[in-house]
Structure formats: C-alpha cells, structure tokens
C-alpha cells in the first residue's frame, strides 16, 4: 500500500476516533476557565424527596460540567424563600428559587389558574398540563418579568387537612385556624373551605400547631412523614386533596442567558430528569408512607369532596391581571385528558 493510502487510512481513523470521543463524552467542552456558583433555596426538609432531588440534580450538574456549574443547595429556608426567594431571582442574584407556582402568580397572574384548588386527579394530569401551549405561554410571559422557569414539574404530593380532630366537612373547619403558606391562593382556598387561614412560614408551623396557636395545617403525606408532623399531636388527616403540591425551578433570565449554551442544556436536562425521577419515587412510595404514618397513630378520613368543591367555586373566577377564560382553557385541557 503506497504512503498516500496509509496516510488516508490514518486520517480516517483519527477523524473517526475524534468524533467518537466527542459523542461519548457528554460532559461540557467549553472554556475551562468558566465557573459559576448558584445558590438554590427551598423550604423542604432534607428528609423530603424534593430536597433529595435538588441535591442529586446539583451533584449531577457539577459532575457533567466538570465543576464549572456549582449549585449549592440550602433547604428549610436557610436563604430567602417563598416570595423573598422569587424576588432574589427577579433582582438578578446568582440564585435558584424552588417554590410552588402560586409564588409566580405575582408576576404571571395566570399561573394561579395552574395552581388552583381541586384541579387534578393525578400527578400525571399536572405534568401533562405543564407541557401544553397554554402553560408554555405562561412560562414565556414569566421571562418578561425576568424569571426563567427551568421546569414546573417537581411534585411533593396532594395537600390534605392535618388537625388534632377529624375534619370531613366544611362545617368541621368552622372557626378552626389552619396554617397555610403565605400566598392569596392558599389563604383564599382554606377560607373558602370553611377554615380561618393563618399564613405562616414553614419554620414556625410545627411549633404553632404544638402550642395551639393554630388548630392544624394542610400538607401532603410526604410533608407529614418528612417533618414528623404527627409528633405535634395533629394526627387526623382529612383527605381533601385540595391542592396538588408542586414546585417550579426559577432562575433570573439574564443570569441564565449568561451561561454557555451547552452548560444550559446540561442544567435543563438534569432538572427535568430529577423531576421525573422524584415524582416516580413519590408514586412508588406513597402506600408505604401512609402505612408508616398509621404506625405513628395517624388516622385518615374521607371527606365530603362535593361540599368542599361547591365552597371552592368562587376560586375559578379570574382575578386582577388574569386572562379572561384562562380557567376554562385549563379545564378544557384537563377534560381532554380524561376522555
Ligand atoms: O413553595 C413551596 C411550597 O408551597 C411550600 O409549602 P409549605 O410551606 O407548606 O412547606 C411544605 C413542606 O413540605 C416543607 O417541608
């Protein structure tokens, strides 16, 4: 074989091996000097799945970017959380806020329709809805307020009524102070259900229940087991499933656009993957969590769902800033899924 053919073969082998190396290595290959530290804040207990998911996603992003993107996670509102956490994002901090969509309602009012009470019958209905053009339009509008929504699909379970005495009907809630997170959506939901909504940060909630400042709270079985809520004496769970507890992941749009594209792709991929994995773990573990709660004396009670739904009817009227017909549009998407 003459030397030109030898060189030709070698060149093909070299190009082929370079291509293979590129495909095989899914870590980033951009400027090695680039480094960004982001602080991620949420209110969840380290024992809760959502907290574990955030830690795992941060670890995977660090590995896949060879340390260029370092996400430091801060559970239990160690950093600004709730409304203040979202404000950090809007102000352009190197910060990721993980909160439910009702906290984005201040910037995109239509998000309140996504997080309204008694909308969903399953986790899947919600994660299907978030992929519709209707919600993608809401996500695009959030960017006009400076908020890049990486995903809306983190789920921490259906929120139920957790009290010292059984609650089955709106009348059972009459005069009862029930702790809620501090957005109008939660406050209006519990007031319409018949309670006196008392907004408190999670960090003050368990002591408020223990000391009788409030008569109970509302939360999922995963919140219950992860925070040992049953130790407060609130061992009765009314299965209202009035709100599906979900969280989005929010970063400032300019901070986001300043990250090299292939790091952005890795970040988005890993947060989406973490949401799917975390939701599956919740679905797989729910029965075991219920059994464990029952072993701690927790009693579950069916509720008069129709009575609560009737009381919540006023919640499906658009309020200031919401697009006329947005609730009808959400219900139409859900009805289509249920055909
Ligand atoms: O913004 C995220 C949720 O709305 C937080 O809900 P909250 O304050 O009832 O906390 C849920 C618990 O699971 C926290 O451990």
**Each residue's pLDDT tens digit, 222-272:** 999 999 999 999 999 999 999 999 999 999 999 999 999 999 999 999 999
Mean pLDDT along residues 132-142: 98
Taking a C-beta distance cutoff of 8 angstroms, is the pair 39, 95 a contact?
A: yes
Mean pLDDT along residues 183-212: 97
User: With bands split at pLDDT 50, 70 and 90, how would you rate the model's confidence at 6?
Assistant: very low
Alpha helices in the chain, H assignment, sequence order:
3-24, 49-64, 82-90, 111-114, 123-129, 133-144, 170-173, 184-193, 202-210, 221-227, 253-257, 261-295, 305-312, 326-337
Q: 160: Cβ below 6 Å to ligand 1?
A: no
Question: Is the pLDDT confidence value at 8 over 90?
Answer: no
Q: What is the pLDDT, as a whole number, of residue 29?
A: 52
Ligand 1 probe mutation, 52, 202, 221, most atoms within 8 A of CB = 202
Taking a C-beta distance cutoff of 8 angstroms, is the pair 116, 184 a contact?
A: no
Question: Is the pLDDT confidence value at 84 over 60?
Answer: yes
Q: What is the pLDDT, as a whole number, of residue 32?
A: 74
The residue whose CA has the least distance to atom 15 of ligand 1 is 44
Nearest residue to 241 via CA among 152, 123, 129, 124: 123
* pTM, rounded to two decimals: 0.91
Question: Is the pLDDT confidence value at 20 over 60?
Answer: no
Compute the distance between CA of residue 38 and CA of residue 94 in angstroms, rounded to an integer.
5
Question: Is the pLDDT confidence value at 51 over 50?
Answer: yes
Question: Is the pLDDT confidence value at 4 over 50?
Answer: no
Question: Is the pLDDT confidence value at 9 over 60?
Answer: no
Q: What is the DSSP letter of 318?
A: -
- Chain Cα centroid distance, residue 148: 14
Supply the mean pLDDT for the chain: 93
β-pairing, 216-219 vs 147-163, is antiparallel
Compute the distance between CA of residue 183 and CA of residue 166 in angstroms, rounded to an integer.
25
Taking a C-beta distance cutoff of 8 angstroms, is the pair 126, 244 a contact?
A: yes
Q: What is the pLDDT, as a whole number, of residue 28?
A: 55
Q: What is the pLDDT, as a whole number, of residue 27?
A: 54
Alpha helices in 40-149, H assignment, sequence order:
49-64, 82-90, 111-114, 123-129, 133-144
Q: 218: Cβ below 6 Å to ligand 1?
A: no
Question: Is the pLDDT confidence value at 44 over 60?
Answer: yes
Least confident window among 21-35, 120-134, 143-157, 217-231: 21-35
Q: What is the pLDDT, as a whole number, of residue 17?
A: 46
Question: Is the pLDDT confidence value at 331 over 70?
Answer: yes
Mean pLDDT along residues 84-93: 98
Mean pLDDT along residues 283-296: 98
Q: 44: Cβ below 6 Å to ligand 1?
A: yes
Question: Is the pLDDT confidence value at 16 over 50?
Answer: no
Taking a C-beta distance cutoff of 8 angstroms, is the pair 109, 102 a contact?
A: no
Compute the distance between CA of residue 112 and CA of residue 124 in angstroms, rounded to an integer.
19
Q: 156: Cβ below 6 Å to ligand 1?
A: yes
pLDDT digits (tens, 9 = 90+) for 142-177: 999 999 999 999 999 999 999 999 999 999 999 999
Ligand 1 probe mutation, 181, 186, 278, most atoms within 8 A of CB = 181
How many H-runs (helices) and E-runs (strands) does the chain carry? 14, 9
Mean pLDDT along residues 127-145: 98
Taking a C-beta distance cutoff of 8 angstroms, is the pair 116, 102 a contact?
A: no
């Amino acid at each position: 074989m003459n030397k030109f053919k030898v060189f030709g073969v070698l060149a093909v082998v070299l190009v082929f091996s370079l291509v293979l190396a590129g495909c095989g290595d899914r870590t980033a290959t951009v400027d090695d000097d680039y480094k960004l530290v982001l602080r991620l804040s949420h209110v969840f207990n380290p024992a809760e799945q959502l907290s574990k998911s955030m830690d795992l996603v941060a670890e995977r992003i660090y590995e896949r970017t060879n340390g260029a993107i370092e996400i430091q996670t801060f559970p239990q509102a160690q950093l600004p959380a709730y409304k203040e956490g979202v404000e950090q994002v809007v102000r352009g901090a190197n910060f990721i806020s993980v909160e439910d969509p009702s906290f984005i309602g201040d910037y995109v009012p239509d998000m309140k329709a996504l997080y309204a009470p008694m909308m969903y019958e399953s986790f899947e209905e919600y994660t299907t809805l978030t992929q519709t053009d209707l919600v993608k339009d809401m996500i695009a509008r959030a960017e006009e307020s400076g908020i890049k929504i990486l995903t809306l699909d983190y789920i921490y379970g259906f929120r139920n009524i957790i009290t010292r005495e059984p609650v089955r009907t709106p009348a059972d809630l009459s005069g009862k102070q029930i702790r809620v997170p501090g957005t109008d959506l939660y406050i209006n939901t519990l007031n319409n259900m018949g309670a006196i909504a008392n907004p408190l940060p999670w960090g003050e909630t368990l002591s408020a229940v223990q000391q009788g400042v409030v008569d109970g709270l509302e939360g999922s079985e995963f919140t219950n087991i992860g925070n040992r809520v049953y130790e407060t004496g609130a061992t009765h769970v009314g299965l209202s499933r009035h709100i599906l507890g979900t969280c989005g992941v929010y970063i400032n749009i300019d901070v986001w656009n300043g990250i090299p594209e292939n790091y952005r792709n890795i970040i988005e991929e890993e947060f989406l993957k973490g949401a799917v994995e975390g939701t599956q773990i919740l679905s797989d573990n729910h029965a075991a969590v219920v059994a464990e709660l029952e072993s701690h004396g927790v009693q579950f009670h069916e509720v008069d769902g129709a009575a609560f739904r009737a009381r919540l009817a006023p919640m499906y009227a658009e309020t200031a800033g919401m697009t006329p017909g947005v609730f009808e549009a959400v219900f139409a998407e859900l009805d289509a899924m249920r055909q």
